[in-house]
Chains A and B, each alone.
Chain A
Amino acid sequence: MVSGAIAREADAAGRGNFSMNMEDQLRETLRRRDPTVGFAERVAARAQSGHRAKPVRRLRGLWAASVLALAAAVVLTATSLWQRAQEERAGRQAVLALRIASEKLSQARSKVLWRTENQ
């Protein structure tokens, strides 16, 4: 009987120690602490650099892509127009050249016919 009572008291004492340790640890953990020196500045700097630089970079990229696309479109259009102008010029020259050739051929033929008829 005696031994049982002693054992119960010892057990109760052990539990009491454990709960005391837990309370101390929680208190220590939840204790208010001041931030380290320069913490606020670091947070502010990070907020500035992180939240503002990325959209600017994206915008710059979009601008560059737009300018490149526009330049490519202008170059392609100009090339196409130049090509068309060259084709038109060549076409008109070919028509004129064959017109002159046809005219001179007909002149020669007429002269031959005239001479044949008058001989």
Chain B
Amino acid sequence: MTFRTFTLLMVSFALAARSTAQIQINLDSLASKAKESVEITLDSSMLKMASNFLSSEKSDDAKVKSLITGLKAITVRSFKFAQEGQYRPGDLQPIRAQLRAPSWSKIVGVDDKDGRRTSEIYTKTDQGKIVGVAILSAEPKELSVVYIEGTIDLAGLANLGGNFGIPPISIPDQKKPKGKE
């Protein structure tokens, strides 16, 4: 009986620890195959440094500064490949498995018929606030994972598009719908 109670307690602690733990993204093996890769890992101290650097007077900097104020961590892994088939769809499975935790919800999941293009957005909420975002995006020659931990303004993040010289997004081989906010 005592052993059973102890086991239950340990399992509870493990589940609690898992729910608060950061998402682990291990795609290092893809970097060597990629034509271009972006690997960014910023913890809270680095984000504080970034905030010190960003100017409150410049419009673009001020937007980023405002967005990163409540953040604890940002992790980005983005790979562009010269040819198709350089990564396996299964490479994202370990990340998806972590995002199945009860605190995470999949709010967007779009994929084409053959599953070569997928976009998934997951959010983690706490008391009605978004405290984590994970974006998985896969194209035939591109794979990107973004994980943001902390209080994030999704609308503000989406509105960064068009700043920093980001061109309007178009979907290859498809008609782009007229911009709706």
Residues of A within 8 A of B (CB): 83-84, 86-88, 90-91, 93-115, 117
In contact, B78 and A94 (Cβ under 8 angstroms): no
Q: Is the interface of A mostly helix, strand, loop or mixed?
A: helix
> Number of A-B pairs whose CB atoms are under 8 Å?
125
Other A-B contacts than A99-B160, A105-B157, 16 sampled, CB-CB below 8 A, are A87-B52, A91-B54, A93-B46, A94-B47, A94-B68, A95-B60, A95-B64, A97-B40, A99-B166, A100-B78, A102-B159, A104-B144, A105-B135, A108-B108, A110-B177, A111-B171
In contact, B121 and A111 (Cβ under 8 angstroms): no
Contacting residue for B166 out of A87, A94, A102, CB 8 A: A102
Q: Which residues on the A side are within 8 Å of B144 (C-beta)?
A: 100, 104
Q: How far is the CA of A110 from the CA of B176 in the complex (A)?
A: 7
Q: Which residues on the B side are within 8 Å of A95 (C-beta)?
A: 54, 60-61, 64, 164
> What count of chain B residues pass the 8 Å CB interface test?
48
Residues of B within 8 A of A (CB): 38, 40, 42, 46-47, 49-54, 60-61, 64, 67-68, 74, 76, 78, 108, 110, 117, 119-121, 133, 135, 137, 144, 146, 148, 154, 157-161, 163-164, 166, 169-171, 174-177, 180
